[in-house]
Amino acid sequence: MSGYKNDSPLPLAGLKVIELGQLIAGPFAAKLLGEFGAEIIKIEPPHGGDPLRQWRKMVDGTSLWWHVQSRNKKSVTLDLKSPAGQDILRKIVLDADILIENFRPGTLEKWGLGWAELSAKNPKLIMVRISGYGQTGPYRDLPGFGAIGEAMGGLRYLTGYPDLPPVRCGISIGDSVTALYAVIGILLALQHRQRNAGNGQCIDVALYESVFALMESLVPEYDACGFVRGPSGSTLPGITPSNSYRCADGKYVLIAGNGDSIFKRLMNLIGRNDLGDDPRLAHNDGRTAHADLIDAAIGEWTAQYDLRTVLQALSAAEVPAGYPYTAADIVADPHYAAREMIRTITLPSGRSLKVPAVVPKLSATPGQINGGGPVLGEHTDEVLEACGVNSEARSQLRARGII
């Protein structure tokens, strides 16, 4: 991309990360670190590996999601339930910087691989523990998935329309948000380690807490006003106008006209200067009190024109607007192309595959993608050899199903 250099070492180069997690939250966090240069050693069960390998649409027997979630990683097969596998992990962790796990709390302790044991062997280790409810508290032992975290964190109750069952976002947003908080914790811990004689620390990240942290003024509104925010469909509660509106061709336009000056321009565009000049509607609090009136006026205007005409008019009036993109829209969009947000990789079969690019964009040390996800156990020999496990020992471990 113009203006972005690739000749500097990546910012996380030299860091060794052990990924013990499966599916989404832990692996997503490790993926972000790998895109910026960290060595990611993904530990997988010898038989089947990470279940994500078989999730959703598959090509050549492997999930297409896998090639996004597990890029830039090394796959090592290891049976962590066996004492021999546990001993090998201890060897791998000896010079690791970061370990990411998303087992149910207590699982690693049961295997003798908990924070106390591993940090005693490697004091610089930063251990990230992702779980549904956290490592403490009355719910710690309950199984927790992203969907449950979204519910307990308050998001699911707000998602959908009043008097209808709550709906979910079409992606695993709870897991992904938790992964982002995990990465923030890792970066903070690395800074702390640099300033404090190289000592690591343990990071406790709960799915429900990560979702709850996004819930804006939900709790203060209840505490101060007794107000329980509920589902509001396509509107943004308390921000007016910010909604979706049906056009003449049956498509929907999203309009964010909630700034005071933007609102006046929008009302002028749709021929409703009476609303634009109404002193009751000069500021957001007044507009929110009359949201139905404003939304009806905008909806009457959009219903007269097709989506393209509506978008062109809104753009000319400098009113923020858009429409819900499909995957086809994203791939065809010129702005995505100009920003190089869709990259093409080559799979082991030789097939090319479009995948999302790396975010965020760093000017001096942008992240990178080195192909898709690894074949199961592709790097087992390489990693174990580096830990002093010779070929004869590896053959015996394979015969026993440990690797």
> Given 3-state DSSP classes, what are the helix, strand and coil percentages for the chain, each rounded to the nearest 5?
40, 15, 45
The class level of CATH for 242-246+252-322 reads alpha beta
Q: Are strands 342-346 and 321-322 parallel, antiparallel or unpaired?
A: unpaired
The tens digit of pLDDT for each residue in 147-165 reads 899 999 999 999 999 988 8
Which pLDDT score, from 0 to 100, does residue 7 have? 66
Query: Which positions ≥6 away from 15 have C-beta within 8 Å?
Result: 33, 37, 38, 39, 97, 98, 190
Q: Are strands 58-59 and 62-63 parallel, antiparallel or unpaired?
A: antiparallel
Mean pLDDT (the chain) is 95
Which pLDDT score, from 0 to 100, does residue 163 have? 87
What average pLDDT does this structure show over 288-311?
97
Q: Provide the residue ranges of all domains of the chain, joining segments of one domain with +.
A: 16-214+340-399, 242-246+252-322
**Torsion angles phi and psi, residue 79, rounded to 5:** -85, 100
What average pLDDT does this structure show over 379-399?
96
**Does CATH place domain 16-214+340-399 in 2.40.50.1040?**
no
pLDDT band (50, 70, 90) for residue 145: confident
d(CA 215, CA 211) in angstroms, rounded, equals: 7
pLDDT band (50, 70, 90) for residue 2: very low
Which pLDDT score, from 0 to 100, does residue 6 have? 60
Considering only residues 1 and 131, tell me which one the structure prediction assigns the higher pLDDT. 131
Which pLDDT score, from 0 to 100, does residue 237 have? 86
Q: Which long-range contacts (CB under 8 A, 24 or more apart) does 195-199 make?
A: 198/123, 198/124, 199/123, 199/124
d(CA 59, CA 196) in angstroms, rounded, equals: 47
The tens digit of pLDDT for each residue in 353-385 reads 999 999 999 999 999 999 999 999 999 999 999
CA 379, 380, 381, 382 torsion-angle sign: positive
The tens digit of pLDDT for each residue in 9-55 reads 899 999 999 999 899 999 999 999 999 999 999 999 999 999 999 99
Distance of CA 274 to the CA centre of its chain: 44
Catalytic residues: 175
Which pLDDT score, from 0 to 100, does residue 318 have? 97
The pLDDT > 90 percentage for the chain reads: 90
The tens digit of pLDDT for each residue in 53-72 reads 999 999 999 999 999 999 99
The tens digit of pLDDT for each residue in 188-236 reads 999 999 998 889 999 999 999 999 999 999 999 999 999 999 998 888 8
Q: Let me know: does 15 contact 33? Beta carbons within 8 Å.
A: yes
pLDDT band (50, 70, 90) for residue 130: very high
pLDDT band (50, 70, 90) for residue 146: confident
Which pLDDT score, from 0 to 100, does residue 3 have? 44
